[in-house]
Amino acid sequence: MKRGFLGLGGILLGLFVLLFAYQTFSSYEFKGYVLQEPVKAPEVMLRSVEGPVRFADFQKKYTLLYIGYTSCPDVCPTSLANLKLALAELTPQEAAQVQVIFISVDPARDTSEALGRYVKMFRQDFIGATGTREEIDWIVNAFGARYTIEPPDENGQYSVSHSAFTMVLDRDGYYVMNWEHGMSPTDIAQDLKYLIKHGIPVSAQILAGPTYTPVVCAVTLVPAHVKNGQWLYEHHCAQCHGLDMSGNPQWQVELADGSRLAPPLNGTGAAWKYSPTELLSIVKEGRNLDKPIHMPAFKSRISDWEIEFILSYVQSTWDVNQLNYQHGFMTLTPQPTSTPAAPLAPIITSTPVP
């Protein structure tokens, strides 16, 4: 009786150990975000120097899609360079099962030839493709990506804000996973190795759940606007908000009459949480004008354009996530609130003169 009991315990323990080992050694956690519901790639024919490009042509391979444009100052080159480095970590046999396609959302400037030249700077087998505005929008919408053509500067130059994630299409032409901007080449390579060998296990899709928040995108600022804005900022705003935009050192202390000293405008403050329209209106109309300390109204002193330039300069101090949030490309993942207590030092309450 006793032996039988021990025997059963032993078997159970053995099973438990096996299960544990299976769990530990068989589960792989993707670095990318696995879509709970894969999206079938639309049947669109794009142009490239190699000729027409359809997603269906690359079935049997993993297709890595990135949308951008060749005049993109930093985000596109970084992403393409990371993909190149990731592919270099694969064996040649593995790399042959992956196709990178860069889709330009700027067909007015990016010809097939220019696109071809651009992507081949990164890797000979990368493909650069584009289409008509309708074709591009069809693809971008199907995959839940986004882009905005920004207003041109005085020389007619414009930048394009766009989703900056890399989308992964599986061998059947389904969009199944994406990697956020800034994912390391090694993480990408690990995911690719696993995908090529095992595909995406159903369990990973079920686990994916609705926790996905960031759609990380690239908002690029027009350099000429930023430069003009800096000059204007130094003349109109720096005396209260600080040359480095860090605000008055005591901005966190609330004064008895409810007014507060000029807060930071750089990423350490809260200015990036306002929409572009709200920011424009704060600077034009002022804020708490009835209080001894207030944000002055600038509408009669500088033009809307000048305010836009200043705001471009202000935005140039924010990180990519703050820019994305401001442009409505991203919702914030709730952060644990741990606001440091404001120092209670004596405050000089003379009204600053603009």
CA separation for the pair 162, 181 (Å, rounded): 11
Decide: is 260 part of the binding site for ligand HEC (CB under 6 A). yes
For the sheet with 147-149, list strands across it. 147-149, 160-163, 217-218
Instruction: Select 11 or 332, whichever has its Cβ closest to ligand HEC.
Output: 332
Query: What is the helix (H) or strand (E) element at residue 218, kind and residue range?
Result: strand 217-218
Minimum gap (Å) between residue 279 Cβ and ligand HEC: 5
Residues 334-353 that bind ligand HEC (CB under 6 A): 352
CA separation for the pair 209, 227 (Å, rounded): 44
Instruction: Select 32 or 247, whichever has its Cβ closest to ligand HEC.
Output: 247
Count Cβ atoms within 10 A of the Cβ of residue 93 and give its class: 0-12 exposed, 13-18 middle, 19 or more buried: exposed
CA 123 from centroid of its chain's CA atoms: 23
CA separation for the pair 281, 203 (Å, rounded): 49
Decide: is 288 part of the binding site for ligand HEC (CB under 6 A). yes
Count residues near ligand HEC (CB under 6 A).
27
Query: Which residues fall within 8 angstroms of residue 200, CB to CB, at 6 or more apart?
Result: 30, 34, 170, 176, 177
Decide: is 263 part of the binding site for ligand HEC (CB under 6 A). yes
Amino acid (1-letter code) at residue 153:
D
Residues 143-172 that bind ligand HEC (CB under 6 A): none
Decide: is 245 part of the binding site for ligand HEC (CB under 6 A). no
Which of 143-151, 190-198, 258-266, 333-341 is the region at the interface with ligand HEC (rule: CB under 6 A)? Answer: 258-266
Instruction: Select 79 or 250, whichever has its Cβ closest to ligand HEC.
Output: 250
CA separation for the pair 1, 220 (Å, rounded): 76
CA 319 from centroid of its chain's CA atoms: 10
Please select the residue that binds ligand HEC; options are 310, 320, 323, 330, rule is CB under 6 A.
310
Minimum gap (Å) between residue 227 Cβ and ligand HEC: 16
Decide: is 287 part of the binding site for ligand HEC (CB under 6 A). yes
Decide: is 65 part of the binding site for ligand HEC (CB under 6 A). no
Decide: is 270 part of the binding site for ligand HEC (CB under 6 A). yes
Decide: is 279 part of the binding site for ligand HEC (CB under 6 A). yes
Binding site for ligand HEC (CB under 6 A): 236-237, 239-241, 259-263, 265, 269-271, 279, 282-283, 287-288, 293-296, 298, 310, 352, 354
